[in-house]
Amino acid sequence: MRRAKSGMRWFRLLAVMLVSTVACAPPDHADLENATISIVIPYRPGGGFDRAVRAFAPYFARQLGANVTVLPENVPGAGGRRGATKVYRAHPNGMTLGIFNLPGFVLPQVLGEKVDYDLRELSWIGRLESQYYVLLVSATSDLKSLQDVRAAEGISFVSTGYGSTALAASQIVAGGLGLTDKDPIFLAGYAGTADYLVGLIRGDGNVAVAPVSTALKYIESGDLLPLAIAGEVSELEGVPTFTDLGFPQLAPLDIQRSIAGPPGMDAELLHKLRAAFSRAIADPDFIEAARNARLDLKPLEGEAAAVEIAESYSYYEAFKTNLTNPNAM
């Protein structure tokens, strides 16, 4: 009797588990009605990626429909790989999207490290931000021009750690300017861009490469001097581009923040998300919010963003020999 009761209990438990599993199965939302979409931020709250998603989410939701909710979800870990992998492995029903650091997430793949994602396979929805890199020295430094940097001995770049976009950008600039033969020092390991720029002001090293928006406040305060900037047209008044100075191979050096969903997303769904993205980035309210949040909006729509990703792989592949760890132990 007891055995029969116990069997019954197991049966009930199994039935409940089965029903809950079915109930929890990912819904197939081609129409996105009443959906709750999460945008995975692969870093902790507080940084630039977090800021971009939090500013964008409400306006994206507004364009997706009256009952759609878009929630930022911080999934930090393993230098962003945990979050990237989560999006890559998610069900492609549009409920899980993510913001990606480019070339940050491209680099491990280029360097042959084992990662559980391939950015080229993601369903790209659009690019939010893009910032060019600028070459900086301290305002009190003897180095006053790109020529000075090229002629100087004992060049020391300050930057974040190995695997970061800033160190890769510094190594590419060193390679592009022909400094590699002089064995420049790469003083890596600072916690963030502001940290290594303060290190540059302090004199820990003598040159740095940083995204223009972070560097701008130190340039305006007179602490740092910009020597050259990436891009075809200079975004800083009076500062020449690398191309102007004869180094066109450094023109594409930038950092981008783009939004994508998992691979294999249904074409109709992807079209809907891309259309909503395009309307959101054109929404004057969002443009105002983005300005307040100091986002460097350079939107690119879905298809074009996907092409950009593919191109960035070949760009960084070309500099692969420059990108080994300079401080490997």
Partner 1 sequence: MLEPLLTAADYLGQGINIAYLLLGVAVGLVFGSIPGLGGATAIALLLPLTFGMEPEQAIILMGGIMGAVSIGGSISAILLNTPGTAPNAATCIDGYPLTRQGKAGIAIGAAATASSVGGVISLVILVLVLPVAKAIVLWFGPPAFFMLAVLGLTSLTVASSNLLRGLIAACLGLFFGFIGYDDIGGTERYTIGIEFLWDGMSIVPLLIGLFAIAEMMNLYRTGGPISKHEHDETLRVVGTLDGIKSVFANVRTLISGSAIGTMIGMVPGVGGTVASFLAYSFAAQTSRNNENFGAGDIRGVIAPEAANNAKDGGALIPTLAFGIPGSAEMAIFLGVLILHGIDPGPMLLIEREATIFMLILALLFATLVSGALILVLAKHLAKIAHVDSMLLIPCVITVSLVGAYALHNSFGDVVVAAFFGALGYIMIRADYPRITLVIAFVLSGLMERNFIQSMIMFEGDWLRFFSEKTSLVLFVLTVLALSIPVLNRFRARGATS
Q: Which of 29, 51, 86, 272 binds partner 1 (CB under 8 A)?
A: 51
Q: Which of 139, 293, 301, 315 binds partner 1 (CB under 8 A)?
A: 293
- Among 57, 227, 213, which Cα is nearest to 142's? 227
Footprint (CB under 8 A) of partner 1, residues 55-74 = 55, 58, 74
Closest separation in Å from C-beta 179 to partner 1: 17
Closer residue to partner 1, CB minimum distance, 156 or 278: 156
Element (H, E) at 87: helix 81-89
Instruction: Decide: is 161 part of the binding site for partner 1 (CB under 8 A).
Output: yes
Q: Which of 93, 123, 131, 160 binds partner 1 (CB under 8 A)?
A: 160
**For 253, which DSSP code?**
-
Instruction: Decide: is 24 part of the binding site for partner 1 (CB under 8 A).
Output: no
Q: Which of 1, 23, 24, 328 binds partner 1 (CB under 8 A)?
A: 328
- Site residue total, partner 1 (CB under 8 A): 52
3-class DSSP state of 102: strand
Instruction: Decide: is 191 part of the binding site for partner 1 (CB under 8 A).
Output: yes
Report d(CA 247, CA 245) in Å as an integer.
6
Instruction: Identify the burial level of 278 via C-beta atoms within 10 angstroms of its C-beta, where 0-12 means exposed, 13-18 middle and 19 or more buried.
Output: middle
Report d(CA 54, CA 58) in Å as an integer.
8
3-class DSSP state of 9: helix
Binding residues for partner 1, per CB under 8 A? 44-47, 50-51, 54-55, 58, 74, 76-79, 81-82, 156, 160-164, 185-192, 194-195, 198-199, 201-205, 217-218, 220-221, 223, 291-294, 325, 327-329
